[in-house]
C-alpha cells in the first residue's frame, strides 16, 4: 500500500468570511462549520472556540481529538463513521498539521474525559497543549446518559469527526507544503535484503472493554469488542481506520488524533529496510473475561508466528484489569520465541509504592514505561475555561473527585485544581510520543 | 546553619574493637572519629552530636538500645540523620538500619546510611531508609562518606532528587513519573530496546518486574459450622453511597448491614447499586446479588451447608485502585472480621 499525505502547517487560526488557508493561517467560516456540526439534530447547542499554545486557558471535559484531514480520491476520512465503508491506507489525503479538533462538553463530562491546560505547569502533561486547538463546545439531547458516569458521547464525538473533515476540505485543491509518503509492500514480495532483516510486528491493544456497543475503539466503524485480533496494514491506522474510544481513563486513552499520527508506526517505518523488516500491525483488543483475554492473546501469538515475526512491540491502551491482556500477550509472544518489547503506563498509587501493573510475569523483561496514572497534579486557576470546570469533580472523571479526606475536592472555589494524571487528556501517549518514564525513588 | 546527627558503632566511634562491642548507647557532643570527614563534607550544616553503640549491644538488646538512643535525641534539634557507612559488616548494617528507621518514624527527618550490596541490612531496610551503595570494607570510607554527604546536602537544600539510580542509593520500591531531560519519545526508546534485544545486547527495562507477593491457599475449614462474610471490590453500596466511595482509584470502603435481608434489593427499589466505573453497571444495578451473592449464601444457610452469614458486608471499588491502598483497606476490614469471629470470606469482584 502507498499513502501520500500532503501537509499544511497551521501556525494560526482565526474566524472569517470565507473558510480558507493561506501561509499558515487557517480561516474558518464559523457559520458554515457549525452547520456541519448541526447536521445531527441531537446537537442542541454548539460553539467553536479557538485556543493556541501559551493561552491562559484550561479545557475540560475533552472527549476526543482529531487531526483535520480530507481524502482526495473521494470517500470519507473515517470509513464506517463519517461515511460508507471503504478500504483506506492508499491514495492521497491532505492534513492540517499542528492543530486538532477537540470535542468538548459544554457542561457534562464522563469517566473517560480529560483536561488540557494551554500554558503554565499543566501544559507539560499532554501533547495537545502544544497544538492550535479548534474546540467544538457542544451539548446534546442524549438524556439517557446525561447523568451517567459512563457516556458514549456519540453526538459530539461524531460532530467533531465531521468538523475535522470539513476543515480538511479547505485545503483540498491546494498544493501541500510538504508530503509524507508511507509505502510498504506485501510481505512475500519484498527484496531479499529487506527479508533478511529481523522482522517486526506491532501489536496494538486498543480499548474494548465495554460489552455494550458505543463506548469502545472502532475499527472501520466496527466495535473492537466484537473483534478477534486481525492483521492490518500500518497505513490503515494512519489513514482513519481507527476511531478513539469514549471509555478509558483519559491519560491512558488513544484519541483518533493519536491513531492518525501514531509515532511508533512512524518510527518502525523509519527503521524498515535499515535495521528491521516491518511486517505490519496485529490489531488486538482488551477484554473483560479471562477466556476472552486468553483467546485474543492466542490469536496474536498465532498470527505473529505465522507471519514469521522475529520480534514485536506491543502497546496497551489502559491499565489495571487490562494489564492481564498485556502480560498474557507478552508471555505468549515470548513463548513463541518472538523477542518482545512492551509499551504501557503504570499505576503505583499516590505514595508510589503499589505494584506498577496489576498483572506481572517474568517474561515481560523489556518494557517502556510512558507515565504513571497516579501522579498527583496541583495546578493554579487559569483565566479562561473552555467547557465547564466543575465537570472534573462532579461527573466522575477518572482523575477527579468530589471530596477527599486529605486533598479536599478536585476543583476549588478559586479555580485551582488538584487531580490525578489519570484525567490528563491522552497524557501518557503510549502510542509513542511520551517523553515521560517512571523511575525508582 | 542546619544540624545533623551521626550514628557510629564502637569501632568508628573510637571506643574500641570487638572487645568493646557490648558498649552501651551513648551520646557525645560534636564529631568523633569518622564524623570528622562527614562534618567537613557538609556544606551548610554541621554534625552537632554523635550517637555511639556497640554492635553486640544493639544486636542483643535492640529495643533497649533504640529506646535509649531515641531518648538522647528528644531534646536535640536536628534536620538530618546519618548512620555508618556500614560497609559489609552485618551487625553494623543492621544497627544502622534499625536506628535510621526508628529516627525517621519518631522525628520525621531524612535518614541516610551506606552499605555494601551484600550487607543483609540492605534488603531489610532499603524500603525505609536511603541506603547508598557502598564498598566492602572501611578502606572505602573516603568513597562512601562523600556519597552520603552529597545527598544530605541536596536534601537540606531542597534540590530536586533524580531517583535511586542517578543518586546512587538502593531502590526503595517507590516509583514516580519523571520527564526525561533529553525528551527521547517512548517510540524511539522502544525501538532502541527492541534492536538491543534482537541483537542479544544488554538493555534496561524501564519497568523491572518486582518480586511477586503470592499468598498461599489457606487450609480448609468446616463449612457447616463456619461464619461466612461477603467482601466485594465490585462497588455494591446502598444507593446513596453513604461513605462516598470513589468510582475508581478507591481509597475508601464501607461496611453495611445485611442482617435482616434475604437478598439485596436493587437500584430501582432504592436499595443497592454499583458505583464501580470499570464495568457495565446494568446487570449489577438490576440485581446486585450477581456481584454480592447474598441470595445464594442465604440458600446455603437454609440448607445447612454453611453455619451462618456475618451481619455485615464490606465493599470498595477495585478499578484503578492502587495495590497498596487495597492492602491497607483489607487490613482495616480484617480487624472487623476478626472481632466478629468470621471464619471465612467470599471475595467477589465484578
Query: What tens digit of pLDDT does each residue of A137-173 get?
Result: 999 999 999 999 999 999 999 999 999 999 999 999 9
pLDDT band at B279 (very low <50, low <70, confident <90, very high): confident
Q: Are residues B148 and B17 in the same domain?
A: yes
Contacts of B177 in chain A (CB under 8 A): 371-372, 375, 421, 436-438
In a domain, A428, yes or no: no
Closest alpha carbon within chain B to A111: B277
In a domain, B151, yes or no: yes
Q: Are residues B30 and B132 in the same domain?
A: yes
In a domain, B288, yes or no: yes
pLDDT band at A222 (very low <50, low <70, confident <90, very high): very high
What CATH number did the domain enclosing B78 receive? 3.40.50.2300
User: Do the chains contact at B178 and A439, CB–CB below 8 Å?
Assistant: yes
Higher pLDDT, A394 or A353: A394
The whole domain housing B33 covers 2-167
Give the list of residues 6+ apart from residue B232 with CB closer than 8 angstroms, or none: B291, B292, B313, B314, B315, B316, B347, B348, B349
Q: Are residues B28 and B137 in the same domain?
A: yes
Q: Are residues B262 and B143 in the same domain?
A: no
Give how many domains chain A has, as a whole number. Answer: 1
Residue burial B133-147, b: 16+ Cβ < 10 Å; e: rest? ebbeebebbeebbeb
In a domain, A115, yes or no: yes
Write down the mean pLDDT value for chain B.
94
Task: Reply yes or no: is the peptide bond before residue B22 cis, omega within 30 of 0.
Answer: no
In a domain, A295, yes or no: yes
Give the list of residues 6+ apart from residue A290 with CB closer than 8 angstroms, or none: A324
B residues 42-101 lying closer than 8 A (beta carbon) to A:
none
In a domain, B173, yes or no: no
The whole domain housing A242 covers 2-423
Q: Are residues B244 and B343 in the same domain?
A: yes
CA–CA distance, A27 with A19 (Å, rounded to integer): 5
What DSSP letter does each residue of B274-331 carry, written as one string?
A: E--TTS--HHHHH-GGGTS-HHHHHHHHHHTSSSEEEEEEEE-B-SS--HHHHHHHHH
CB distance from B36 to chain A under 8 Å?
A: no
Give how many domains chain B has, as a whole number. Answer: 2
Q: Is the pLDDT of residue B322 over 90?
A: no
Q: Are residues B158 and B307 in the same domain?
A: no
| Of A268, A310, A346, Cβ closest to residue B207 | A346
CA–CA distance, A163 with B322 (Å, rounded to integer): 39
User: Do the chains contact at B197 and A267, CB–CB below 8 Å?
Assistant: no
Percent of chain A with pLDDT over 90: 97
Distance from CA of A47 to the nearest CA of B (A): 30
Distance from CA of A381 to the nearest CA of B (A): 23
A394-417 mean pLDDT: 95
In a domain, A435, yes or no: no
A269-273 mean pLDDT: 98
CA–CA distance, B198 with B201 (Å, rounded to integer): 8
Please give the radius of gyration of chain B, using alpha carbons only, rounded to the nearest integer.
27
In a domain, A143, yes or no: yes
Q: Are residues B79 and B162 in the same domain?
A: yes
Please give the radius of gyration of chain A, using alpha carbons only, rounded to the nearest integer.
21
pLDDT value of position B214: 76
B243-258 mean pLDDT: 92
Q: Count CA atoms closer than 13 A to A355's CA, side-chain side.
A: 18
pLDDT of A244-257, one tens digit each? 999 999 999 999 99
In a domain, A433, yes or no: no
Amino acid at each position: 500500500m502507498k499513502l501520500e499525505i500532503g501537509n499544511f502547517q497551521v501556525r494560526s487560526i482565526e474566524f472569517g468570511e470565507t473558510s480558507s488557508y493561506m501561509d499558515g493561517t487557517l480561516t474558518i467560516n464559523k457559520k458554515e462549520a457549525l452547520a456541519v456540526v448541526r447536521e445531527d439534530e441531537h446537537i442542541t447547542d454548539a460553539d467553536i472556540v479557538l485556543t493556541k499554545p501559551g493561552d491562559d486557558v484550561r479545557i475540560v471535559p475533552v472527549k476526543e481529538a482529531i487531526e483535520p484531514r480530507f481524502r482526495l480520491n473521494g470517500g470519507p476520512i473515517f470509513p464506517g463513521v463519517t461515511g460508507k465503508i471503504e478500504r483506506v491506507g492508499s491514495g492521497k489525503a491532505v492534513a492540517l498539521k499542528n492543530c486538532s479538533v477537540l470535542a468538548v462538553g459544554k457542561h457534562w463530562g464522563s469517566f473517560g474525559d480529560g483536561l488540557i491546560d494551554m500554558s503554565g505547569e499543566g501544559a507539560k502533561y499532554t501533547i495537545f497543549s502544544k497544538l492550535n486547538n479548534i474546540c467544538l463546545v457542544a451539548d446534546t439531547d442524549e438524556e439517557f446518559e446525561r447523568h451517567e458516569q459512563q457516556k458514549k458521547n456519540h453526538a459530539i464525538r461524531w460532530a467533531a469527526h465531521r468538523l475535522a473533515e470539513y476543515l480538511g476540505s479547505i485545503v483540498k485543491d491546494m498544493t501541500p507544503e510538504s508530503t509524507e509518503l508511507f509505502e510498504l509492500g506485501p510481505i512475500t514480495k519484498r527484496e531479499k535484503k529487506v527479508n533478511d532483516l529481523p522482522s517486526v510486528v506491532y501489536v496494538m491493544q486498543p480499548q474494548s472493554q465495554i460489552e455494550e456497543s458505543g463506548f469502545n475503539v472502532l475499527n472501520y466503524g466496527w466495535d473492537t469488542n466484537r473483534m478477534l485480533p486481525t492483521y492490518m496494514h500500518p497505513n490503515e491506522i494512519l489513514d482513519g481506520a481507527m476511531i478513539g474510544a469514549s471509555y478509558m481513563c483519559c491519560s491512558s486513552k488513544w484519541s483518533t488524533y493519536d491513531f492518525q499520527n501514531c509515532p511508533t508506526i512512524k518510527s518502525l517505518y523509519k527503521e524498515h529496510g535499515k535495521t528491521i523488516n516491518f511486517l505490519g500491525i496485529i490489531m488486538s483488543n482488551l477484554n473483560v473475561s479471562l477466556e476472552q483475554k486468553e483467546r485474543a492473546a492466542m490469536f496474536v501469538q498465532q498470527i505473529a508466528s505465522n507471519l514469521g515475526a522475529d520480534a514485536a512491540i506491543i502497546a496497551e491502551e489502559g491499565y489495571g484489569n487490562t494489564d492481564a491482556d498485556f502480560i498474557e500477550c507478552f508471555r505468549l509472544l515470548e513463548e513463541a520465541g518472538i523477542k518482545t518489547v512492551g509499551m504501557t503506563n503504570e499505576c503505583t498509587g499516590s505514595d508510589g509504592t503499589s505494584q506498577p501493573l496489576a498483572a506481572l510475569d517474568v517474561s515481560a523483561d523489556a518494557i517502556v514505561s510512558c507515565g504513571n496514572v497516579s501522579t498527583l497534579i496541583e495546578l493554579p486557576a487559569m483565566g479562561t475555561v473552555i467547557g465547564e470546570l466543575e465537570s472534573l469533580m462532579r461527573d466522575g472523571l477518572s482523575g477527579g473527585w468530589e471530596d477527599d479526606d486529605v486533598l479536599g475536592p478536585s476543583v476549588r472555589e478559586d479555580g485551582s485544581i488538584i487531580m490525578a494524571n489519570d484525567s490528563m487528556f491522552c497524557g501518557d501517549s503510549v502510542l509513542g510520543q511520551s517523553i515521560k518514564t517512571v523511575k525508582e525513588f | 546553619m542546619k544540624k545533623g546527627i551521626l550514628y557510629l558503632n564502637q569501632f568508628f566511634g573510637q571506643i574500641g574493637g570487638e572487645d568493646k562491642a557490648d558498649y552501651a548507647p551513648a551520646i557525645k557532643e560534636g564529631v568523633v572519629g569518622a564524623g570528622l570527614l562527614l562534618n567537613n563534607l557538609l556544606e551548610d550544616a554541621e554534625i552537632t552530636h554523635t550517637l555511639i553503640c556497640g554492635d553486640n549491644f544493639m544486636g542483643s538488646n535492640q529495643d533497649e538500645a533504640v529506646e535509649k538512643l531515641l531518648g538522647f535525641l528528644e531534646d536535640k534539634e536536628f534536620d538530618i540523620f546519618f548512620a555508618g557507612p556500614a560497609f559489609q559488616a552485618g551487625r553494623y548494617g543492621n544497627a544502622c538500619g534499625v536506628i535510621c528507621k526508628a529516627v525517621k518514624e519518631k522525628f520525621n527527618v531524612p535518614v541516610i546510611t551506606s552499605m555494601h550490596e551484600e550487607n543483609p541490612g540492605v534488603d531489610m531496610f532499603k524500603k525505609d531508609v536511603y541506603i547508598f551503595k557502598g564498598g566492602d570494607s572501611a578502606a572505602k570510607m573516603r568513597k562512601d562518606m562523600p556519597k552520603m554527604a552529597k545527598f544530605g546536602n541536596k536534601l537540606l537544600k531542597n534540590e530536586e532528587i533524580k531517583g535511586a539510580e542517578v543518586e546512587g542509593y538502593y531502590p526503595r520500591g517507590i516509583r514516580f513519573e519523571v520527564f526525561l531531560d533529553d525528551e527521547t519519545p517512548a517510540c524511539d526508546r522502544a525501538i532502541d530496546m527492541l534492536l538491543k534485544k534482537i541483537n542479544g545486547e544488554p538493555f534496561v527495562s524501564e519497568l523491572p518486574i518486582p518480586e511477586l507477593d503470592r499468598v498461599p491457599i489457606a487450609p480448609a475449614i468446616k463449612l457447616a459450622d463456619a461464619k461466612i462474610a461477603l467482601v466485594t471490590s465490585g462497588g455494591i453500596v446502598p444507593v446513596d453511597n453513604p461513605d462516598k466511595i470513589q468510582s475508581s482509584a478507591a481509597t475508601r470502603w464501607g461496611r453495611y448491614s445485611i442482617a435482616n435481608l434475604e437478598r439485596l434489593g436493587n437500584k430501582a427499589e432504592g436499595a443497592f447499586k454499583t458505583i464501580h466505573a470499570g464495568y457495565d453497571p446494568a446487570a449489577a444495578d438490576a440485581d446486585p446479588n450477581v456481584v454480592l451473592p447474598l441470595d445464594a449464601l442465604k440458600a446455603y444457610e437454609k440448607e445447612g451447608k454453611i453455619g451462618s452469614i456475618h451481619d455485615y458486608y464490606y465493599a470498595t471499588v477495585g478499578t484503578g485502585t492502587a495495590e497498596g491502598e487495597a492492602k491497607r483497606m483489607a487490613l482495616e476490614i480484617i480487624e472487623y472480621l476478626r472481632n466478629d469471629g468470621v471464619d471465612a470470606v467470599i471475595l467477589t469482584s465484578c
